[in-house]
Structure 1
Amino acid sequence: MITVKRLFTFFVLSSWLLLASTSSYASAEYVAEVLRLVNVERAKVGLNPLCLSTQLT
């Protein structure tokens, strides 16, 4: 069962990833780390990992 804390963490990390990928101030390392953290949380609840798409940025 997905807990409220995990859902909150997932949404916060996903939001950071979205903002980081669209910001001119974001470094590639920062974006990669946020994506890694999001995927760690997704794995905890049995979801497939996300990946960046250059077509969407």
Structure 2
Amino acid sequence: MVVDTKVADKLTERMIHTANSEVEAKQAKTRQLRQNPFTTYRDPETGRWMVIKAAA
């Protein structure tokens, strides 16, 4: 059986990419989300939305 090296290289790249994506997906599932440091509210006088960074 004759295999084109370019095709074999592409398949290898795709397999590595797929394996890396699966590892990253597993890691993402175990990571916790960070708290949002911002609070939003609507100013009753102007009607504009305000964004404030919470004090640490």
- TM-score over 0.5 (shorter chain): no
Normalising to structure 1: TM-score of the pair? Answer: 0.40
TM-score (norm 2): 0.40
- Higher relative contact order (Cα pairs below 8 Å, separated by 6+ residues): 1
Higher strand residue share: 2
Normalized per residue, which structure has more helix? 1
